[in-house]
Structure 1
């Protein structure tokens, strides 16, 4: 018996340090995104050197493939983590997400190929939020989610500036080396310090249970959208507003660097300032607006800010215009937290996981379509670097005469889609009755027993 206890104790020690907690998740998220944030400046340089003629198009295709693969794989990885535990899938997702980093200076082609393919495992947030749900109760969960989201924001606020400084003084090779070491530290932290959060009894009872296609089908939640009119309006609003944001996030830093001629230092400062303003908007201003204007009006206000900043980016051609629009973009980041609150008002407590799954599925789909759409529009309008010259090559395409009036055509198109989203959001009822919601949101025969475990906040995507 003593021998058995010693073996059991040693096994537990190998599974991590201490009891599973939110702080384990926070460290994993911070290290992963800090390492990628360091590479903001070197990645833009390598991207332009590798694809000098069609940079925006290739960037859109690379990010688009990655986003679509993440959308397709997220439900399966989530279902498997329910059976095999969170810790092993944290290790898998972090390893494959960070695997392309050392290839940046070794082989740029392999680097971008790995970025595209790593999308199949780049779903760390899904596993992290499941980990947090395992270790918190309902009263603590929203605070814990907020802590994880704030950590993500903090990593992206600080790391681009640090990466730009190291690149300017010591070169890109050192930045890539530091990012690789931080990624390795993250993997080692998961191996040595992160304990398993899913109780053994739950895993053993699920072990060997077949994974149904319904659990692994990424389109399962999308097919249920039309079963409730309120949820349908919210989902249309999310799709039309998040599609341009996903495309903007994939190409905007490249646009600032190569078209507006931001220096590496200025770009890093821009990211930091807008990130800090976004955090302030999502905390102080969001709380104030929700109390004074109500949830629906806060969503409409956020969409209005998004229309303004996208139109400003579309027509702006001077650096000061980008800074002004960046402040507006920070205010527009209140939209998705407000949408999440609106969803919680429109659905019964036992249907929250189902509806939030729909929103998450639509957002994942936009992460694939948005970057590809923006890259294609940049290519279609012949937007190239510095002098806005038309694309050179074997294409007999006359440049469209919009280079002076509309320097950023994708942003203007994005503003138009958000205008439609605004009009749709006008018809969203502020609140729905519980009976109606309960009758219409019974979207499957066996709704999730623990809906809060499925809830994924929308804060972490709306930093810039």
Structure 2
């Protein structure tokens, strides 16, 4: 009896020791949670959402008829810098923790906002340069991966993505109203204050999410610079066929999305003839629908049809909405395209969830950095592609009122005394959107090759936990008895449905595995 009580006390003390070592005493409010990430994303994009109308006005005043082309170049430079720097920042966050890099990325991403009060040229230059640190998404998604179980990660990613949509529900309308009533500078000051509040929130309220035993004891610890090379990280993608398919799908689907997002406000305002208030209303409606799509709708799809089919459905919605923007300029079609765009917003959280599920826990920052880097590459090429296509088709902004964006592609029918111009704008008012739809169709064909999976709860990734080497060997040996093998730890999973009762017992749940871990000798070397 005494030995049994001693064993229970030993397991209890081990449990306290393991739990207390999971997170470092970095200042923050409460334990690390998805809600910390949600607030960070909301405040950052709410600040930028306020500037929707002022930025359109400043761009038009500064660059006149070449607004679409220059806007594409600005966003393109920003995206390319994001691509080059995202893997480095993601890898550093895997070593030194998430919190300091959340501060860094949010601060520099929002740093151009107050500069708009000084000079529009410096404002747009700083937007381009800030791309080197505009990787908040990769750090936030790594933060979420740190604090969620794999079976709950899809809904957590959906919540974070829905927060981005929620930040745009009211901010453009508020910015438009304040700009008309109090002037452009008042909106810039308010956006600057909200960005500063976001930085202060991270410093004061956000706790560190990366377990302490994953981080070195000092900031001088070495890091593998192979992880910081964006092209090396892309080469690593080729080593995993599923990851390669997913990354290719991300590139081909996000390329037109990035281009569309960079110019859609101008397109609605100057091609379709929406006023500022109607543009803000359009953004708000699409934002609300996106929240519904990325929370309840996404969770339902994951549970019913699996990862791959969810991705395919999102890509189908995206193709249809791009075709609507390409071939129609009627107002009711734009609202229908907005509904489809909201439904297609499930793409990124669905893809990120699948990527996360095949990645080891302490590599989440690197892999999310790769995905964000690919998105950064799209944010470079997408806006540039849209801007160049608008320029090639001679679609430029002329005048200050909505409806003055004209497609000047004409066919001259000459006679002795006259010439007739046939305007082709009505046939293809949005040529870049057609190219985008073709890209998404190719992405759908590639996504068809991704193996379909059930809901994430059907598979347990045991080696995503920090555990003693002896337990890691024990789990792998017992898995080998069942004929389960893997070339790398990050791919090692055990499907509950294939375990037979006549073979050796192995933990079936995370709780059982943690109990086994706590019962091991606490002197074992930690991985």
Shorter-chain TM range is: 0.7 to 0.9
Give the 5 Å matches for 1:320-335.
320-335=332-347
- TM-score relative to the length of structure 2: 0.72
Q: Which segments of 5 or more consecutive residues in structure 1 lack a partner in the other structure? A: 1-11, 392-398, 444-464
- Of residues 395, 403, 414 in structure 1, which corresponds to 2:436? 414
Q: Which segments of 5 or more consecutive residues in structure 2 lack a partner in the other structure? A: 1-23, 398-402, 409-420, 462-482, 492-527
Separation in 1, partners of 2:453, 2:202? 42
Structure 1 residues 200 and 71: alpha-carbon distance in aligned structure 2, compared to 1, 3 A threshold: same
- Of residues 307, 315, 332 in structure 2, which corresponds to 1:303? 315
Q: Report the counterpart of residue 508 of structure 2 in structure 1.
A: none
> Secondary structure of the equivalent of 1:213?
coil
> Secondary structure of the equivalent of 2:112?
coil
Give the 5 Å matches for 1:36-435.
36-135=48-147, 144-198=156-210, 202-205=214-217, 207-340=219-352, 343=355, 347=358, 353=364, 358-385=370-397, 386-389=403-406, 402-430=424-452
Structure 1 residues 198 and 101: alpha-carbon distance in aligned structure 2, compared to 1, 3 A threshold: same
Using the TM superposition, name which of 121-130 and 321-330 deviates more: 121-130
Using the TM superposition, name which of 36-45 and 207-216 deviates more: 207-216
Conservation of the 8 A alpha-carbon contact between 2:83 and 2:377:
yes
Q: Report the counterpart of residue 14 of structure 2 in structure 1.
A: none
Larger radius of gyration: 2
Structure 1 residues 254 and 133: alpha-carbon distance in aligned structure 2, compared to 1, 3 A threshold: same
- Kindly report the root-mean-square deviation, in angstroms, between the aligned alpha carbons of the 2 structures: 3.4
**CA shift digits 1:360-402 (9 cap, x unpaired):** 44323212211111111111111122334468xxxxxxx9964
> Secondary structure of the equivalent of 2:227?
helix
Conservation of the 8 A alpha-carbon contact between 1:388 and 1:403:
no
Q: Report the counterpart of residue 469 of structure 2 in structure 1.
A: none
Conservation of the 8 A alpha-carbon contact between 1:67 and 1:368:
yes
Separation in 1, partners of 2:428, 2:161? 34
Using the TM superposition, name which of 359-368 and 349-358 deviates more: 349-358
Separation in 2, partners of 1:368, 1:80? 23
Separation in 1, partners of 2:355, 2:207? 33
Separation in 2, partners of 1:367, 1:223? 20
- TM-score relative to the length of structure 1: 0.80
Deviation at 1:431, TM superposition (A): 5.1
Structure 1 residues 201 and 388: alpha-carbon distance in aligned structure 2, compared to 1, 3 A threshold: closer
Separation in 2, partners of 1:400, 1:361? 44
Q: Report the counterpart of residue 396 of structure 1 in structure 2.
A: none
